[in-house]
Structure 1
Amino acid sequence: MAAGRAWWRTVETERGRVCGEPAPVAEGDVDAPPVAAFRGIPYAASPVGALRFAPPRPHEGWSGVRDAARPGPAVPQGPSRLECVMGRRAVDWSEDDCLTLNVWSPAGAAGAGRPVLVWFHGGGFSSGSGGWDWYDGTRLAALGDVVVVTANYRLGPLGYLYLPESGVGNLGLRDQAAVLRWVRDNIAAFGGDPAGVTVGGQSAGAYAALALAVAPETRGMVRRVIAQSGPWGLPPQEPDAAAGSAAAFLDLLGLPGKAVGGAREAEVLRELRALPAERLLAAYARLSADRARPGRIAPPMYPVLGGALLPTPPRQAVAEGALGGAGLLIGTVRDEMTAFVAFDERARAFTRDDVLRIMREDARDTFRGGDRDAAACAYDDLARLRPDASHAELLTEAATGWLFRDGVTRIAEQRAAQGTPAYVYRFDRGPDGDDGTLGATHCAELPFLFGTFDAYPDSPMLGRPGTDARRLARAFGGAFAAFTATGTPNGPGLADWRPYCGGPAPEVMYFG
């Protein structure tokens, strides 16, 4: 036993040794071996100075043994727009040493070759951290006897500013690709199998996971995909739109926005690297506020179409067969858009015309008119089904469809037609005592995936979980862990979950 313990306490990576710590699973919750946690491991150099707005570079390494008992700082960011749903939390961020990852590995002999889940947090490409206790991988690792990895990646303007002449773009996505490379090169030392990697995530993290799974540069490192509440109705930013957002951002900073793509772009980039991160975040917050509107989830800056990691929109790439034989588990929560609309005072004053305008502007591909006003027809059909619903509630239901649910259905149908059916779920559990305001809102499944109820002490989306909630967490997290381990979300003690094959009664697993 002593030799085994010594192995999982100190591990050799390519850049140096790290020392983790035991991560106890709640007594009686999971019958599995103990888990070791290694937190705050650098996977790239600090993105500071000349490396701000640069692709991730290899970390210089360290001598001796690095203490990996605590996560690294979050990347620079402002408050989450979903604090009113998930609960507030202090964000301890720093540019220095922020590109880190965390590994949870069941104790055992080196070279055990366990399956690996690399999971990316959401946050609208603007907030979040893989080191937060929300995403502690201890219980998930124990449930499936798998290795779990979470990571930070650059967000907001530091991750998605677009300056094409200087090669600046999709830096957050490039960071995530660097995480996959680190896993390929190092995870065997933690007992993981580099050839058995599932890449997963929620919301923005799901969007990135699918993009990495179909990109020519990274798809060879991915065996399976987990995609939770991906905003599939949000296409990647077109380069012209991304350049417009960059110009508006530079104008707010007092820099020449017209320099984007022009001769002065390199000079502007030097000035951006010299500014305090706080100024960049303040300007981005102003830009976000200027563009905010109920029902709009797109931030000013997010992944831009083009380059090695996003040459094709992920949904199109799936339709063209780029996912190959990779397994896919994909789904939504029932009431995705309540998180973005329910507490917005402006939405409560919406009229039918306000909702139709949003539908026509933000979902043009869904509501193509032809000889009929497709948006109006869809709205009126929904209003007949829900005669007591307000205009904001009808917008919430419609947007849940075009932004989240419809994309899941189309992707699942494509995979079925390609002969590799996906596993599809819907999470329906809302907080106890909810009057319908939230329901099963965006992010509601996260505490159940990781079993981290105590990390959400004041979360409206969770409420006060009891015995039934903990039983649901075991079923939900257990299915995801089983999929990571075997490619199917089935196993001892789990419900029979059949793959989605389409037809009049397509197979969807409901949780809640």
Structure 2
Amino acid sequence: MSNEWNDDNRRREHGRPTEGAGPGTQPHRSTVVTTDRGRIRGEDEGPVRSFRGIPYAASPVGDLRFAPPRPHPYWAGIRDTVRSGPSVPQGPARLERLVGPRTPDWSEANCLTLNVWAPRTSGAPRPVLVWFHGGGFTSGCGGWDWYDGARLALLGDIVVVTANYRLGPLGFLYRPEMGADNLGLRDQGAVLRWVHDNIAAFGGDPRTITVGGQSAGAWTALLLAVDPETGPLIRRVLVQSAPLGLPEQTRDAARAAAVHYLALLGLIPGDDPAGGLRALPVEHLLRTYAGLGRDMAATASVAPPMYPVLGGFGVRRGLRESVREGALADKDVLIGTTREEAAAFFGLNPAVREAGRVDVLRMMRDEGGRVYERYATRRPEATPGQVFTEVMSDRIFHAGTHDVARARAWQGHPAYLYRFDRPIAAPELGLGAPHCAELPYLFGTFDAFAESLMLRGVDRAAATELFATFGGALAAFVATGSPNGPGLPTWSPHSPKSAETMFFR
């Protein structure tokens, strides 16, 4: 991290306005908006106004580390919000080889921020998309250029919001006696409340909020939508590649992971660990969490050591059980996956690529081999590792997604179901359309993925055309509750009689 970040954070954390803080801090063209914490200055980017790095909660440092989010202090003057805030503390991304590397930019101070993009033209209040990034509850940042919302906001004439939330041990260590209870989810709830209270000042309609996300962010978007506390703030749900085959972590498993983590840190679980956890350097917490991940790693699992806990804050009941019982009945739902989801996790793993049939049966826990044979018969040309990857794609992603769509259909509230089939631009890897493949085509941020295997050598005209249809359809859903509209393919909802799916190729 640069000193520039730290100096800027210190100015902001002490409540002093950054107006006039130095050369280059003021944008050429700007817009001032009043929020419930103070005035902010954004930037006009052609037809879209952007506001980056808006704090929605106080910095989770000192006594606020491992504590629920608190309101940010008021500030005087005008606060510049023309640059995204730092990422929350995190280690390297598990899928970095696929999606591309990121230069570490995290800071514990001033990390709980969000970003807003809104079309400049005035008119009726616009529908709002609040979108949460993925990263396996361990990595990611709403302020990265991958998720720049300007093009999507303009494409759909909507307001787009992205946000950070605490990850890894800082977000999902389970020690409720010290306040550490699904803190990453609590952060997301604070984002929703901030949007509800403030988005009208940006031209957004707080009555028409879609909560969405990809991967871990999609999983939590559904959790927020079914929860009695945050659900009433949400009108629609956009679910991209949610690992719905991953059950919520039980309290017993979460406590065991916490005890193991404390032991690795040299803290005694029987004592109150809060003081020790808050005193340790955050770098030490991250290194130790990486060690915990290695201790708990399993070849056939995508689960991180810590993630949302069943019975903790915001997870009163199992997600799929809640959906089956009608918890989404009053909301519009659009949900989907990529075709080869699990290839992102297993397709580059030598232990999987080189596995034989016996190895795969063991990893699948398929003692009779019946599941393996069913899949292998469908794809006689596939290697055992490819069969394993297809099975895991269905188990972790596809099956749960179809369960949600079917449950909605039988309840008389059909969902829109899609599958993203456009393969990544690295055919020699044999990954097809893996997890994350659709992200550039939602936000139209092709240049931001320049170092990614997914877009290497991609035809820009074809990519732009798919952005117009895929991003356009999802933006239309945010705006109207239907992904249909002028220039878009006709998309029928999933129904009990016809398992309608829109394929994007």
Q: TM-score, normalised by structure 2?
A: 0.92
Match of 1:337 among 333, 342, 346: 342
Deviations 1:310-330 (A, max 9, x none): 101111111111112200000
* Deviation at residue 6 of structure 1 after TM alignment: 12
Aligned to 1:250: 262
In angstroms, what is the RMSD of aligned CA positions?
1.7
SS of alignment partner, residue 475 of structure 1: helix
Aligned to 1:272: 277
Aligned to 1:414: 407
Give the distance between the partners of 2:429 and 2:482, measured in 1 at CA.
33
Match of 1:483 among 466, 477, 481: 477
Residues 1:317 and 2:322 aligned together = yes
Give the distance between the partners of 2:164 and 2:444, measured in 1 at CA.
20
* Deviation at residue 294 of structure 1 after TM alignment: 2.9
Aligned amino acid, residue 218 of structure 2: A
Give the distance between the partners of 2:387 and 2:447, measured in 1 at CA.
33
Give the distance between the partners of 1:433 and 1:343, measured in 2 at CA.
12
* Deviation at residue 167 of structure 1 after TM alignment: 3.1
Residues 1:508 and 2:492 aligned together = no
Seen in structure 2, the aligned counterparts of structure 1 residues 283 and 8 have a Cα distance that, compared at 3 Å, is: same
Structure 1, 294-303 or 475-484: larger mean CA deviation: 294-303
* Deviation at residue 436 of structure 1 after TM alignment: 5.6
Give the distance between the partners of 1:97 and 1:103, measured in 2 at CA.
17
Match of 1:100 among 79, 104, 113: 113
Give the distance between the partners of 2:312 and 2:294, measured in 1 at CA.
29
SS of alignment partner, residue 369 of structure 2: helix
Give the distance between the partners of 2:357 and 2:284, measured in 1 at CA.
39
Give the distance between the partners of 2:227 and 2:57, measured in 1 at CA.
21
Deviations 1:243-268 (A, max 9, x none): 01111111111112x43xxxx2xx21
* Deviation at residue 41 of structure 1 after TM alignment: 0.2
Aligned to 1:39: 52
Give the distance between the partners of 1:419 and 1:339, measured in 2 at CA.
35
Gaps of 5+ in 2: 1-26
Aligned to 2:468: 474
* Deviation at residue 164 of structure 1 after TM alignment: 2.7
* Structure 1 moving runs of 4+ over 2 Å: 5-8, 164-167, 290-295, 348-360, 462-465
Match of 2:44 among 4, 18, 22: 22
Give the distance between the partners of 2:293 and 2:30, measured in 1 at CA.
44
Give the distance between the partners of 1:237 and 1:21, measured in 2 at CA.
41
Give the distance between the partners of 1:142 and 1:45, measured in 2 at CA.
31
Q: TM-score, normalised by structure 1?
A: 0.91
Match of 1:287 among 286, 292, 296: 292
Residues 1:496 and 2:490 aligned together = yes
* Deviation at residue 308 of structure 1 after TM alignment: 4.3
Deviations 1:153-205 (A, max 9, x none): 00000000001322311000000000000001000000000010000000000
Residues 1:429 and 2:425 aligned together = no
Aligned to 1:455: 448
Seen in structure 2, the aligned counterparts of structure 1 residues 308 and 242 have a Cα distance that, compared at 3 Å, is: closer
Question: How many correspondences in the alignment?
Answer: 478
Gaps of 5+ in 1: 25-33, 361-366, 368-372
SS of alignment partner, residue 115 of structure 1: strand
* Deviation at residue 240 of structure 1 after TM alignment: 0.3
* Deviation at residue 232 of structure 1 after TM alignment: 0.3
* Deviation at residue 131 of structure 1 after TM alignment: 0.1
Give the distance between the partners of 1:299 and 1:405, measured in 2 at CA.
20
Aligned to 2:387: 394
Aligned to 2:218: 206
Structure 1, 93-102 or 313-322: larger mean CA deviation: 313-322
